[in-house]
Amino acid sequence: MINIFSSLKDSTKSIVFIVLVLLLAVGFSFIPHVNTFAYMMTPTIAVLIMMLIVTRDGYRKSGWKKLGLHKLGFKSWGFALIVPIIPLAVGFSVAYAPPSSLEVTLKASVGRYFRCLLSSYTSSRC
pLDDT band at 37 (very low <50, low <70, confident <90, very high): confident
Predicted confidence band at 83 (pLDDT cuts at 50, 70, 90)? very high
Residue 16 CA to residue 46 CA, distance in Å, equals 9
Quick one: how many helices (H) and strands (E) in the chain?
7, 0
CB 52 within 8 A of CB 58: yes
Q: Distances in Å between the alpha carbon of 12 and those of 33, 59, 66?
A: 34, 20, 16
**In terms of pTM, does the model score above 0.75?**
no
